[in-house]
Structure formats: C-alpha cells, structure tokens
Amino acid sequence: MNKKTIVLIICTLLIATTIPVVVTGTNQNDNNSSSPIIDGEEWPMVFHDPQRTSFSTSEGPETNNIMSELNAGSTQIPVVISNDILYTGSSGISAYDANNGLLIDDYFMASNGPITIGSEKLIFTSGIFGLVCLDADPENWDGYLWITDITQNMFASPIIIDDSVYVSHMVSSISHISCFDIESGDELWDTALSGMSMTDIAYDDGKIFTFDTQNIICINGTDGLILWQTPIADVSDMFVGISPAIEDGILYTISSNGIIYALDLADEGSIEMEYDTGEQCNFKDSPALAYGYLYVGTQETMYCFDISDPTSPEWTYSYNDQPAITPIVADDKIYVRLDGLKCFDAMDGSLIWESDIISNVCPAISNGILYYSSGSTIYFFNENTAPESPSFNGPSEAIKNVEISFYANTVDPDDDDIYYLIDWIGNGDNYVEFGPFPSGVEQEITHIFTSPHYEGNRTFHIYCIAKDESVYGSISNPVGPHDVFVENHAPDIPIVSGPDQAYAGYSFTVQFTVSDPDNDINLALGRFAPTQEDPYYWDWTGNYESGETFENTYTVENVGIKTFKFKTGERGSHNGGIRAESEAFIYEVEIIEKPGIELEIGNLTATLG
C-alpha cells in the first residue's frame, strides 16, 4: 500500500468528534470516576474515552519543545494512538510508528470522520462508502472487514462497546442512532429520534446519551429503546455540535449561549448545575473532566469549576474571540488549541508554555508525547529532541554485487547515540537500521546492490534518516535522494560439453557451466522446448551461482541429428521469473542405432541388439 492524503476537518458542524473504543472496568480520575480504563499509552479515540472526558493518565510535555515532525499529507483529522501506532486519515487511512512517525502502512479509502480503535478493529466513517471496519493491525490491511449501507449524513463518530458499534446518522432530516455487530457489520437495532441531532453521542453505564436541539435523550444500549428525554433549553439556546462529558453519573455540557449544565443521569437528566457565562459558545467547544474539575471554554474565556462546588469558577483565562477547542488534560496540565497551542496548570490556570502553531483540530496525548496536527504536519511535542538531519555521502556509481562504502554523520542535541536508517531503494518504507553510533562521529556504512536483474541500468534514490537512542527513538528529517547508478549485464552463454553421438533410446549426459559477469546468483538453464500451444517456449530450471557446473541427462528416441538450444537466464529471486538471458548455445548430437553383437553357434548366426 502506498501513501494517501488526508483531508478531513474533524471539528466542522457536520462531523462529530468522538470515536469508538472497547472498555472494561473503571478508571480512577482522582474522583471515583466511572470512566473506562485506558492505559496512558493509549488515546484510541477523540476525547480519549466513550464518556468524552478528554483525560489521560499519560505524562505530558513540560515545554513547547518539538522533538519531531511528521509530514502526513493534507491532514485535518485528530490522530488516535493504540499499541504504539499512530493513525490518521482522510483520502485513506495511514498508520505510523507513534514514537518517531515512520510510516507503517496505508489503506486507500476516503474517510470523512475520525478513527477509533477497539476490539482489535479500526472503525471510521466514509461519506462515500459508509461505516467502514478494518483490522486494527496494518499488516492485515489487504481489504476491509465490512461496510454498512449507511453512506450519508454520519455527522457523529461511532462508539465501540464490547461487540457493538453505535453510530448517529440522518435520514430525511431526522436523526437515527444505530447499533451494529462489530464482527459482521449486521445492524442490531435502529432508533429514530424526534428531531435533528448534530452532537456526538456519549456512552455510560450501558446507555447512549445524545442531544437534539433542546433535549437530552437517553437510549438503552442493548435494544435501542428511548428510556427518557428531558428538555433543558429553549429554541434560542441549542446544543449544536457540542459533545457532552460524563463523570460519576453526571453529564456536563455547554450550550450555544454559553450556559454550562450539569445533568443528573440517574434522575432523567435533571439539572444539578446551571451557570450562565454570558458569552457565546463555539460549536466546537466541549468540556473536559479531570481531578474533580470541569474545564470548558467559550469564545472569550476558559473556565475551571470544582465539580463538588460549581457555584463559581476556580479560575478563568480570558482571550478575545478565539474559540477554545475542547481542552485535553494530562499530568496536571491542560493542553488546548487557543490562538495556537497553550499549556496551562490544571490546578491554578497559570500559563506554562505556548506555541504559535495554528490548528483547527484537537490534540492527543500518549506515552508522554503530545500530538498536534496543523495543515500537512503532525507535531510531536516532548522534551526529547530529534537529531539534526544527517550528512550522507558516497559514490554515484556502483558495480553490482560489489561492496561499496557510504559515510553518514549527524549531531544529537541531547548527545544520545545515533542510529542511521537508510532506504537503499527509495520508496520510503524500506529503511534498514545501522548503529548505534556516537553523536557527531562520521560512520562508514557499506552496501551491496544486488539488483537490477533485468538487462540494463537502474538509478537508486537513497534516503537517510537519523534516529536517537532515546525511549522515543526521535527521528530527523530525511536527507536525499543520493542517486547511485547501477548497471546489470546479461548472463554469459552457457558452456556446454556433451557427446557427439548417442544411442537412440539411451540416456546420455551433458555438462553445463553457467556464469554471469555481475556474479549473480539464482541463474537458470534454459532449454528451447517448443510446443503446439507455444512454439517459442523455453523451459527454465535450476537456481545456480555464477561459475557453477552441473550435469543433466537426456534421452532421444529417434535416429538423426538432434539440435538443442541452451541459454543462461537470471532470475529476479529464488525460483523467480527470468529477468535477463544470454544468447543461445546450439548443441548438436547424432543419434544412432546401437549396433548388435553377432554370435555363431554351429551353423547358426544370431545378432544381439
């Protein structure tokens, strides 16, 4: 599979920002949270978990140091991370090493919704194909596992719970919540709402929660029955595109008019808290929950509330008409897209660091790395710093099957040892690792070009990347191409040695020696053996080294001159197809009858043949 370009704006009105995950157990968010356990090395969905808390137990970067950058094409979709694999996509799905950004694989299928990992599956929405399920392991991306027939208006991202996939979609301006079997893709149930819902669904305690424009709706996750729906706003105050966050049976959200609500889910959504900020809320703003605090932004202010006493904010941070996309929380810090990217102390709201890189998608955090997408680049924020781009020098011509030397050198700002990753072919996904070596010391790296196998020449476009020996394996920008010209010659005509005469019907032995001017292996012997179906057919046998001698036996039944034609061929691999071949050697042998032996016994003469 090859690279794909990703064009997807996650935080638009018609694209929701939640994605599926399989959950078990509970996670202690310092306040007896009912959120699922998700390891600090995981960020398997936008907003982290089905309750949409946007909280991770991962460590977080203390500074705005960018340890590496990944050019992922035109990407506007938040990344998700599972099993040290970073996923993103738009015109297709791409998988990268989450620690250093090296490409693992691509899958070409247009996506217009965020990705979710769960139950060893990858789920995403495609406006062209519908709800799509792949194996989460990129090594198994030979094809999709299933696709639904819902192909339009899937504006909210799915959720995976155990073996079920939940998704919101629109049918004739009416919102539907559907449930699918994760293994087969079969629809288990479908529930039509009374109006339009443009918000992400959330999941807690076996139930699905969603909004229409003025109501909160609770749906049984098992059978799709609407358990209750409660009005909480009038027509002037809507929940368009705003995702809820749930903790300890309380759902938190903010309306378009900037009213923050806390709703008791055990009491059919009764209002436990209502705080009017007096400020408009952008449709991309959704709350985050961590450490017993609620974090939420309007178009003017970031608020922090103690959820045990939410009568007034613990702290605020003001700005001018810069809507704060949903913050994420980790390591006692808040990271939020606000006039670039900002990091606040989660307890007192003090600004720790900021970056002026602009983005319109939410960041993600995993294993101490903050991932932040802007345009075609995904930035990896972490204290570790990648090595400088290496120098890479060597000859521009090479003799096939002969070892040659190249020289690489770079400096790591943290004085970590260096590995050099070299792509000798030049297609971007065949890097070979050498090292470790000391930082700042030039290294000799040898290579033998064993191709091309066809007759003629090939120019190899070599690329080199430097990777440090830190736990993250941060990589430099690649350098290259360094072009190397390699020529391949046709094999030599085989040396054939056999008898001038042979008896009809009796086997005889012919000796062959095959050779190649480039000392190639996997040489084959070709014998011209035309058939009625193919009058130009050559029968190729063997896998020989250059200079190898061997014998074959032949039997001819008819008397006369028998002409053989033999060639040496060069295979592309062991038992592979013939890529280059020699001229033919013509070998002729006279086939004769074997003479009899005459015996005289008395008056009788007998001939023994």
pLDDT in tens, 160-195: 999 999 988 888 778 889 999 999 999 999 999 887
Residue-wise DSSP of 197-247: --S--EEETTEEEEE-SSEEEEEETTT--EEEEEE---TTS--SSPPPEEE
- Range name among 50-64, 152-166, 433-447 with the lowest pLDDT average: 152-166
CA distance 3 to 92: 8
- Range name among 219-223, 373-377, 448-452 with the lowest pLDDT average: 373-377
- CB proximity list for 609: less than 8 A, separation 6 or greater: 594, 595, 596
- For the chain, the straight-line distance linking the first and the last C-alpha, in angstroms and rounded, comes to 67
Q: What is the CATH number of domain 55-381?
A: 2.130.10.10
The pLDDT of 370-374, averaged and rounded, is 92
Residues forming a β-bridge with 503: 592
Confidence band of 212 (pLDDT split at 50, 70, 90): confident
- CB proximity list for 324: less than 8 A, separation 6 or greater: 282, 285, 297, 298, 302, 336, 337, 338
CA distance 272 to 251: 10
Confidence band of 498 (pLDDT split at 50, 70, 90): very high
CA distance 289 to 329: 8
CA distance 349 to 195: 39
Q: Is the pTM of this model over 0.75?
A: no
346-368 burial, b if ≥16 CB within 10 A, otherwise e? beebeebbebebebbbbbbbbbb
Average pLDDT over the chain, rounded to an integer: 86
pLDDT in tens, 333-349: 999 988 889 999 999 99
| DSSP 8-state code for residue 43 | B
CA distance 252 to 307: 10
Higher-confidence position of 354 and 156: 354
Amino acid at 192: A
Half-sphere CA count of 458, side-chain side, radius 13 A: 16
CA distance 99 to 416: 16
Amino acid at 477: N
- Outline where DSSP puts E strands in 400-455: 404-409, 418-423, 431-437, 443-447
Integer angstrom CA distances of residue 87 from 186, 330, 572: 25, 20, 35
Residue 539 phi, psi dihedral angles, 5° rounding: -95, 115
Max distance between CA atoms of the chain, in angstroms, equals 137
CA distance 306 to 312: 8
Share of the chain above pLDDT 90, in %: 60
pLDDT in tens, 268-288: 989 998 999 988 876 666 899
The pLDDT of 372-392, averaged and rounded, is 91
Confidence check: pLDDT of 386 > 70: yes
pLDDT for position 126? 78
Confidence band of 16 (pLDDT split at 50, 70, 90): very low
Residue 326 phi, psi dihedral angles, 5° rounding: -35, 120
Per-domain residue ranges of the chain: 55-381, 391-488, 495-592
Higher-confidence position of 579 and 285: 579
CA distance 473 to 100: 6
pLDDT for position 238? 60
CA distance 242 to 282: 8
pLDDT for position 447? 97
- Torsion sign (Cα): 565, 571, 576, 579: negative
Higher-confidence position of 369 and 112: 369
pLDDT for position 523? 97
pLDDT for position 313? 95
Residue-wise DSSP of 557-606: -S-EEEEEEEEEEEESSTT--EEEE-PPEEEEEEEEPPPPEEEEETTEEE
Q: What share of the chain is helix, strand, coil (3-state, %, to 5)?
A: 0, 45, 55
The pLDDT of 400-405, averaged and rounded, is 95
pLDDT for position 237? 55
Higher-confidence position of 608 and 580: 580
Assigned CATH topology for domain 495-592: Immunoglobulin-like (2.60.40)
Q: Which helix (H) or strand (E) holds 481?
A: strand 479-488
CA distance 333 to 247: 19
Confidence band of 604 (pLDDT split at 50, 70, 90): low
CA distance 440 to 408: 10
Cβ–Cβ under 8 Å, residues 136 and 117:
yes
| DSSP 8-state code for residue 27 | -
The pLDDT of 383-402, averaged and rounded, is 94
pLDDT for position 546? 96
Place of tokens 């140091």: 65
Confidence band of 17 (pLDDT split at 50, 70, 90): very low
391-488 and 495-592: same fold? yes
pLDDT for position 607? 56
Assigned CATH topology for domain 391-488: Immunoglobulin-like (2.60.40)
Confidence check: pLDDT of 550 > 80: yes
Q: Is the peptide bond before 481 cis (omega within 30 degrees of 0)?
A: yes
Residue-wise DSSP of 169-206: EEETTEEEEEEEETTT--EEEEEE-SS---S--EEETT
Half-sphere CA count of 175, side-chain side, radius 13 A: 22
Confidence check: pLDDT of 521 > 80: yes
CA distance 36 to 254: 23
Residues forming a β-bridge with 471: none
- Torsion sign (Cα): 157, 159, 165, 166: negative
| DSSP 8-state code for residue 162 | T
CA distance 49 to 160: 10
Picking from 510, 318, 477, 495, the residue whose alpha carbon sits closest to that of residue 410 is 477
Confidence check: pLDDT of 11 > 50: no
Higher-confidence position of 233 and 299: 299
CA distance 212 to 174: 10
Share of the chain above pLDDT 70, in %: 86
- Range name among 119-128, 182-191, 498-507, 537-546 with the lowest pLDDT average: 119-128
Q: How many CB atoms lie within 10 A of CB 487?
A: 15
Confidence band of 129 (pLDDT split at 50, 70, 90): confident
CA distance 67 to 75: 19
